[in-house]
Amino acid sequence: MKYIPATPAERERMLAAVGVGTVEDLFQDIPAEVRLKRPLDLPAPASDPDLLAHMRQLAARNVDCDRLACFLGAGAYDHFVPSTVPHLALRPEFLTAYTPYQAEIMQGELQAIYEYQSMMCELTGMDVANASMYDGASATGEAASMAADLTKRAEILISAAVHPEYRQVLRTYTSHLPITVRELPAVDGVTPVEAARAAITDATAALIIQSPNFFGSIEDGDALAEAAHAHGALLVVAVAEPISLGLLRPPGDYGADIVTGEGQPLGNALNFGGPYLGMIATREQFVRRIPGRLVGRTVDTEGRPGYVLTLQTREQHIRRAKATSNICTNESLNALIAAVYLSTLGRQGIQDVAELCARKAHYARERIAALPGYALAFDAPTFNEFVVRCPVPPAEINRKLLAHGILGGLPLGRFYPEYENGWLVCVTEQRTREEIDRLVDHLETVR
Amino acid sequence: MSAPETPTRKPSLFKRPVPVIFERGTPGRIGYSLPASDVPEAPLDAVVPAAHRRAHPAALPEVSELDVVRHYTALSQRNFSIDEGFYPLGSCTMKYNPKINEDAARQAGFARIHPYAPEELVQGALELLWELEHAMAEITGMDRVTFQPAAGAHGELTALLMIGKYFEEKGERRGTVIVPDSAHGTNPASATFAGYKVVEVKSDRRGNIDLDALKAALTRDVAALMFTNPNTLGLFEEQILEVARAVHNVGAQLYLDGANFNAILGITRPGDQGFDVMHLNLHKTFTTPHGGGGPGAGAVGVRSHLAPFLPTPTVERDGGRFALDYDRPKTIGKMRAFYGNFGNLVRAYTYIRTMGASGLREASEMAVLNANYLLSRLRRDFDLPYDRVCKHEFVLSGRRQRDEYHVTTRDMAKRLLDYGFHSPTIYFPLIVEEAIMIEPTETESLQTLDGFVDAMLAIAREAETDPDLVRTAPHEARVTRLDEVTAARKPNLRWRPEA
């Protein structure tokens, strides 16, 4: 077995050093009744060539986005990944490292995460970002408990325009905590400001919105922040598509107190839903309540700059039952991927990619809206996703598009029965005009 | 055996700091390439109204592609990794991460599939998930397994929420979770996050849970005992059957923290020991790379009575077709979006197929033999608080060096870095003072183990003869000891552009 280097002779030497006759002797502390008396029932060991062939076969049974024109987003986005990302972030020196508990030999990882935190602050307009959470949905769940703790209030108000799976996770996360979750119905594809004002009370810990929201609409952040703050509630903004922040106002700008989000679009592969990158950022005054790891810059005994994990008294390995969260292992590698991606794109590139997304989506939106039988469901401004009202069930449209190599948008009825013919279409910079025109041509034939 | 080479001074260039990426480059420099817009030009205001657009660009780096390459290459060289050297980090199972796993997982057919793609486009992915679930159920003796949790602690939370729902379904409300005093910190933290009160039970002198104390703590308010077996001392809980009986006698659930599963693959199964629910860290036992802190993957296995509460969706097979099942009325809901850290699941599946039943068992046997071998060679020079045959890891104490030479475990851990080894886990478990927790794994050769022993023994000598050398270590790393106190008092958590 190539992963186990000990030869039979070495095993004998080691057993002799330990003072036992056989390996079996090392397991005498396990009660006989619970020892497995048969081999595990698993497929026989496979050689590397056989295994690779098998893995290629399994992969070939999937149809990936290299083989389709993808107009599907809804929380997972098909963006171009520069070659720097896999070549640098997946270097084994990063890939096979553990959490940087021994800071002196882990300066590379620590500095990269410090830079990642800085980039997240720049993108979101916040003061502090942590080293990563699991994904956008769980980060939003953690933000709710953070907000409840900070305000000493028990009610969370969440817009129904937040990603349905984020809302499900929030409900699961809070199901056994003294936190109640209320949903604010969306109107015309946005979070209604007046209804939010009416719903927020002095018992509300936070209003959670997403922008651009699940329907692709850009929310009125200023008004919603004001509505929350008028009652001392916090505004939590989930950003499921952080590429948008190359073009759109950062949530810190309109008063967000906590920003969560999904960093997958920042250089991470679609990966059938994971591993992804949970983002969380907040204001300076809340830093001691933020969950997860933080990297800080300091100096060594000779005055050289260096980096360490810091403010660890918030964390489970120190504070145990009183920690701000139970998170330990996070998504460091995905954060590193985001850092390499954002460094490569840089100050100009993130604006350019965001603008390309917005322009292409705008073109697709206008063309589809002009088709007989099709209409935009909502009027609100959008970034790279929008909802189309279709003349036939969207699942049917998707089936027909698939035959032409197009992966269509998300049938909205899956999450919103009231929008049964709603179709959530996403256009990233990856889509060409030719692909958009082809999509429109096919739509014309399915009415 | 030859004495280890005394570490030599590195040139000062070696210690030169790397500027942050923001300080590289210059305004206007770029490192990316994007296509020009091929859609008809529209005024930007018509695309996104000015009121919604940002006034100032994010101050991201302005660097060339080569700047990016040099920067991250330099950072990678300032990192310790399994691919560089031995990582005897107790409880973390830093075994070799096979390269073939990477090749399998990075195929476009896995890495480039959309989570909401129609099921007929992802049959290969669903088949892999189904096969992996069945393999994990066989390995653990559980009935169903979910891969939704992103890490071990996330798995703990998932399990505790399922246990809560199980009691709710029975019309019971239980508010307490018991953890041993040797438990990982995530256990009590997860219990709190799941809304439980935490009661800690002490360990006995053999390093097992104190059975009398456990029985005294077991009331009908107890929802679960969170138990690590082998425990964090690296010892198998000899009274596991009595523990299971006592827990079940009050109707509580027995939870296994499977962080230490690398000791028992194919040897004993938690399902057969009486556990109702457990998590596995696929980034430990099943070789998915730890990525400098994540991503992990925290599979949770359950016996059939807890299966109705699994997060949605599950993967089901109907003839030759695989499907996602969301129609599970008693589910706890969702723990994250989509299905889990799929990329890691591909790697874990590849590993299991490489090893087969015989390979997995051999891995545990060698992990345990390696640990006992290290223990036998180190036991005279360091204190050994629990003197028993260990499983995949063991815990020494540095109290002799502390008391006699004022050299702490932290000092010795830092000195080990100079010898080219990562340090063991230190100051954990909390019940051992000056704890040194060593886990070699099965993938290390005898030469490596002997080299590590030589370094440990050399450091024990240094503690006697030149304690200051150890107290001020590391000397050969890129930086000397870092000022953690100032880092926490005056946190500098981000780079800021100069005003």
Which of the listed CATH numbers 3.50.50.60, 3.40.50.280, 3.90.1150.10, 1.10.3720.10 matches domain A69-80+347-445?
3.90.1150.10
Contact between chains at A247 and B54 (C-beta distance less than 8 A): yes
Q: How far apart are CA B164 and CA B168, in angstroms?
A: 6
Domain end position, chosen among B354, B369, B393:
B354
Residues of chain A in contact with residue B44, where contact means CB-CB under 8 angstroms, are 355
B281: in domain:
yes
CB-CB under 8 Å, B240 with A34 = yes
Is the same domain home to B225 and B110? Answer: yes
Claim to verify: residue B280 and residue B409 sit in the same structural domain: no
Is B84 contained in some domain? Answer: no
CATH number given to A84-341: 3.40.640.10
Q: Which residues of B touch A57 (CB under 8 A)?
A: 124
Q: Which of B298, B321, B354 is the last residue of a domain?
A: B354
Burial (CB < 10 A; 0-12, 13-18, 19+), residue A328, is buried
Q: Where are the domains of chain A?
A: 69-80+347-445, 84-341
Does residue A240 have a pLDDT over 60? yes
Q: Are B278 and B142 contacting, i.e. CB atoms less than 8 angstroms apart?
A: yes
- Does residue A263 contact residue A338 with C-beta atoms inside 8 Å? yes
Kindly determine whether residue A98 and residue B333, on different chains, have CB atoms separated by under 8 Å: no
Q: Has residue B52 been placed in a domain?
A: no
Instruction: For residue B42, tell me if it sits in a domain.
Output: no
The C-alpha of B475 sits at a distance from chain A's nearest C-alpha, in angstroms, of 10
Q: What is the pLDDT, as a whole number, of residue B9? A: 66
d(CA A259, CA A380): 22
**Residue A126 identity (one-letter amino acid):** M
Residues B233 and B345 in one domain: yes
Bridge partner list, A181: A156
Looking only at the bridges linking them, the beta strands covering B277-281 and B253-258 are parallel
Residue B180, SS3 per DSSP: strand
Is A56 touching B (CB cutoff 8 A)? yes
Is A17 in contact with B377 (Cβ distance < 8 A)?
yes
State the sign of the Cα–Cα–Cα–Cα dihedral B22, A130, A327, B432: positive
> Which residues in chain A touch residue B98, judged by CB atoms under 8 angstroms apart?
3
Nearest-neighbour CA in chain B from A406: distance (Å) = 11
Q: Residue A216 — φ and ψ, nearest 5°?
A: 90, -5
- Decide if B186 and A128 are in contact by the 8 Å CB cutoff: no
Question: Does A39 contact B358 at a Cβ distance shorter than 8 Å?
Answer: yes
Residue B256 β-bridge partners: B227, B278
Which residue in B241, B336, B358 is closest to A135 by CB distance?
B336
Chain A to chain B, count of Cβ pairs less than 8 Å apart? 695
Whether B286 and B272 map to the same domain: the answer is yes
Interface contact B127-A58, CB threshold 8 A: yes
Nearest Cβ partner for A329 among B74, B196, B293: B293
* Domain coverage including residue B420: 359-485
- B104 and B224 together in one domain: yes
Q: Which of A343, A424, A427 to mutate to test the interface with B (most CBs of B within 10 A)?
A: A343
What pLDDT is stored for residue A322 in this prediction?
87
Looking at the structure, tell me whether residues B291 and B198 fall in a common domain: yes
Interface test with B, best of A23, A55, A179, A289 (most B CBs within 10 A): A55
Shared domain check, B467 and B339: no
> Most B CBs within 10 Å: which of A2, A3, A211, as the mutation test of the B interface?
A3
Cα–Cα distance measured from residue B74 to residue B319, given in angstroms and rounded to the nearest whole number = 52
Q: Are residues B409 and B343 in the same domain?
A: no
| Residue A40 to residue B477, Cβ atoms within 8 A | no
Residues B110 and B237 in one domain: yes
Q: How many domains does chain B have?
A: 2
Residue B472, token pair as written in the block: 């001020």
Report the half-sphere exposure of A68 (CA within 13 A, side-chain side).
24
**Cβ separation A26–B346 shorter than 8 A:** no
Q: Can you say how many angstroms the Cα of residue A154 is from the centroid of all Cα atoms in its chain?
A: 26
pLDDT in tens, A171-186: 999 999 999 999 999 9
> Do residue B382 and residue B476 come from a single domain?
yes
pLDDT for residue A446: 87
Residue B220 falls within a domain, yes or no?
A: yes
Chain B nearest-CA distance from A202, in A, is 24
Task: Give the mutation candidate from A24, A326, A351, A432 for the B interface (greatest B CB count, under 10 A).
Answer: A326
Residue among B32, B151, B290 whose CB faces A345 most closely: B32
- 499 residues of chain B, pLDDT tens digit each: 455 667 766 667 899 999 999 999 999 999 999 999 999 999 999 999 999 999 999 999 999 999 999 999 999 999 999 999 999 999 999 999 999 999 999 999 999 999 999 999 999 999 999 999 999 999 999 999 999 999 999 999 999 999 999 999 999 999 999 999 999 999 999 999 999 999 999 999 999 999 999 999 999 999 999 999 999 999 999 999 999 999 999 999 999 999 999 999 999 999 999 999 999 999 999 999 999 999 999 999 999 999 999 999 999 999 999 999 999 999 999 999 999 999 999 999 999 999 999 999 999 999 999 999 999 999 999 999 999 999 999 999 999 999 999 999 999 999 999 999 999 999 999 999 999 999 999 999 999 999 999 999 999 999 999 999 999 999 999 999 999 999 999 999 999 977 5
Q: Which residues of A touch B346 (CB under 8 A)?
A: 55
Determine whether the interchain pair B388/A29 forms a contact, defined as Cβ–Cβ distance below 8 Å. Answer: yes
Chain A residues within 8 A of B53 when measuring between CB atoms: 247-249
| Mean pLDDT, chain A, whole residue set | 97
Q: Which of B34, B111, B482 sits opposite A298 (nearest CB)?
A: B482
Q: Do B493 and A306 touch (CB under 8 A)?
A: no
Rounded to whole angstroms, the Cα distance separating A131 from A101 reads: 14
The distance in angstroms from the start CA to the end CA of chain A is: 60
Q: In this complex, is the C-beta atom of A213 within 8 Å of any C-beta atom belonging to chain B?
A: no
On whether ipTM exceeds 0.85, the answer is yes
Q: Give the gap in angstroms from C-alpha B465 to the nearest C-alpha of chain A.
A: 23
Q: Which CATH number covers residue B403? A: 3.90.1150.10
Owner of token pair 């002009």: A370
Whole-number pLDDT of residue B1:
45
Give me the CATH number covering residue B332.
3.40.640.10
Chain B CB contacts of A144 under 8 Å are none
Residue B64 lies in a domain: no
Query: Which has the closest alpha carbon to B157: B279, B284, B290, B28?
Result: B279
Supply A304's token pair: 């050289």
SS3 A432: coil
- Identity of residue A347: R
Between chains, do B79 and A109 touch, taking CB under 8 Å as contact? yes
- Give domain status of residue B21, yes or no: no
Per-residue CA distances from B40 to A331, B49, B254, B286 (Å): 39, 18, 63, 51
A residues 246-285 closer than 8 Å to B (CB): 246-250, 253, 262, 269-276
**Banded model confidence at residue A324, pLDDT cuts 50, 70, 90:** confident
N-term to C-term CA, chain B? 59
Q: Name every chain A residue with its beta carbon within 8 A of the beta carbon of B283.
A: 329
For residue A140, the chain B residues in CB contact (below 8 A) are none
What is the H or E stretch that residue B487 is in?
helix B484-489
Closest CA to B228 of B284, B149, B147: B284
- Which amino acid is it at A182? R
For residues B214 and B225, is the Cβ–Cβ distance under 8 A? yes
Which residue shows structure tokens 């296995």? Answer: B301
Looking at the DSSP bridge assignments, the partners of residue B317 are B322
Chain B closest-CA separation from residue A173 CA (Å): 7
Is residue B9 a part of any domain in this protein?
no
Angle between helices A107-124 and B65-77 (to 10 degrees): 140
Judge if B332 and B395 occupy the same domain: no
Q: Are residues B430 and B366 in the same domain?
A: yes
Q: Which of B300, B334, B354 corresponds to the end of one domain?
A: B354
Per-residue pLDDT tens over the stretch A257-294: 999 999 999 999 999 999 999 999 999 999 999 999 99
Q: Is B41 helix (H, G, I), strand (E, B) or coil?
A: coil
Query: Phi, psi at residue A286, to the nearest 5°?
Result: -105, 10
**A residues 117..176 contacting B (CB < 8 A):** 117-119, 121-123, 127-129, 131-132, 134-138, 145, 163, 165-166, 168-169, 171-173, 175-176
pLDDT at A407 over 90: yes
Closest by Cβ to A1, choosing from B32, B103, B359: B359
The letter for the amino acid at B413 is A
* A:28-47 residues touching chain B, CB 8 A cutoff: 28-31, 33-36, 39-46
Distances (CA, A) of A402 to A281, A408, A438: 39, 7, 12
How large is the average pLDDT for residues A313-327? 88
Contact A316 B123 (CB under 8 A): no
Q: Which residues does chain A have within 8 Å of residue B165's beta carbon, measured at their own beta carbons?
A: 175
- Please list every residue in chain B whose beta carbon sits closer than 8 Å to the beta carbon of residue A327: 151, 153-154
> Could you tell me the maximum CA-CA distance found in chain A, to the nearest angstrom?
84
